[in-house]
Structure 1
Amino acid sequence: MIEEFIVFQKFNNQNAAKDFGNLMNLNQIEYLIENTSINFDPILSNNEFGKEYCVKIKKADFEKADTILRETAKAEIKALENDYYLLSFSDEELIEVIEKSDEWNKFDVELAHKLLKDRGKEITEHQISEIKKQRMVELSKPEESQRVYIIIGYVSAFLGGFLGVFIGWHLLTFKKTLPNGNRIYAYSENDRKQGNRILIIGVVFIVIWILYRIIK
């Protein structure tokens, strides 16, 4: 079975994504760059708004890639400018950067570690491990109930709309990627059951409407 490529990092600049890909290539990590931009207007082709480029790697390479980025960030910290915004962060804010490291780039996370250490409040490896475990638990929780989308899905499905089918399919199958590369269903079991029903109803009513028009 061919191992799946999973999104490891996202960029809103194509050159940044390519530079990241080159770093992976130098360290013998296979990667793919996927353009998932929502802005296809040629008039706005030079505008970064709506642009998104996903760099995908194999799950087995997540830990290696993470280590490479950490080491690269540590080297870049030596050339840090004096007005870098993280320097003004409080201890509590720096700790939050570390706790939610998946929301920050590796440079900021490593800098937060260094700043805390310089202030005499170094976070130990054991504490980092516990923080990662707790964060993984939080990120593994399903998204809040999608009541509005479920209602829209049912209404659209009964009307024979493709929107209902899409909503049902999305609720049933959509997965999110955790920082360790694991992919889990994003929505609760109940929401996924609702999505399955919406999907079935939508398909049935689309078929009914098609047959009705053919007969008519």
Structure 2
Amino acid sequence: MESELIQYKHFNDAALASALVDVLEEGGIEYDVKESSAVFDPAFRSSDLTVEYSVKIKPEDFERANQLLNDKEQENVNQADKDHYLFGFTDAELTDVLAKADEWSPFDYQLARKILLDRGVTINEKILTDLRTERMEELRETDPPQNVWIIVGYIFALAGGVLGIFIGWHLSTYKKILPDGEQVYGYNENDRKQGSRIFYLSIAVFVLAIIYRISPAFKGE
């Protein structure tokens, strides 16, 4: 079964999305770009809505796309301005940039690596692999228990509110997309079970509420 395209990166700048698309095309990676105007811009800079661009690729192409972006930035780091903020980072802070590459741009990642090497810090492929492995394990961890949302979900479920359906659905199905394209559940097993119960309870109460409201019509009242 062919993998579906999932979100790889998202931008609120069309030029950045276009630059990524150019790299994907050069690498022969299948992609799709979705434009969304559902983000409210409180500053009203250009319109009531801020446009976002979501670039989607196949999960198995994430690592190759990451490598393509990093390879491209290797050509640019030698021209980095010496006033760039990363030059003021300590060795430990630069190592943290390498460990949490998903939170930084490919340029920042490559520049952090170059600065460390220029300082005589040993950064080989084994170290980078160990940092990536540790980071992936960290990202696989589920979010803290969602006790408040579970309580709110049950309240809306018993009240017959549609919001209970959405809360239950989110708790039971939400997944995180990791930097390598792997998708893992965002909440622990108990939260997912509670979410599933909220979802079905909400639907049941909602349907019963509708039946209760329309039943007089069938009784001729």
TM range (shorter): over 0.9
CA shift in 2, pair 1:184/1:203, >3 Å: same
Identity %: 41
- Give the equivalent residue in structure 2 for 1:135: 135
Q: How many residues align?
A: 215
Taking structure 1 as the reference length, what is the TM-score of the superposition? 0.93
Greater shift after overlay, 46-55 or 19-28? 46-55
**Unpaired stretches in structure 1, ≥5 consecutive residues:** none
- Give the equivalent residue in structure 1 for 2:22: 22
Aligned partner letter, 1:174: Y
Alignment check: 8 A CA contact 1:12 1:48 kept: no
CA distance in 1, matches of 2:35, 2:143: 26
Residue 46 of structure 1 deviates from its aligned partner by 2.8
Aligned partner letter, 1:159: A
Greater shift after overlay, 178-187 or 11-20? 11-20
- Give the equivalent residue in structure 2 for 1:183: 183
Greater shift after overlay, 67-76 or 30-39? 30-39
* SS at 1:38 equivalent: strand
Taking structure 2 as the reference length, what is the TM-score of the superposition? 0.91
Residues 154-211 of structure 1, C-alpha deviations (whole Å, 9 max, x = no match): 0001000110000000011111111111111111000000000100110000001100
Alignment check: 8 A CA contact 2:12 2:51 kept: yes
Aligned partner letter, 2:205: F
Equivalent residues in 2 for 1:1-216 (5 A)?
Answer: 1-39=1-39, 44=44, 46=46, 51-216=51-216
CA shift in 2, pair 1:194/1:50, >3 Å: farther
Greater shift after overlay, 118-127 or 50-59? 50-59
Aligned partner letter, 1:5: L
Greater shift after overlay, 50-59 or 86-95? 50-59
Larger Rg: 2
Residue 55 of structure 1 deviates from its aligned partner by 1.1
**Unpaired stretches in structure 2, ≥5 consecutive residues:** 217-221
Question: What is the root-mean-square deviation of aligned Cα atoms in Å?
Answer: 1.9
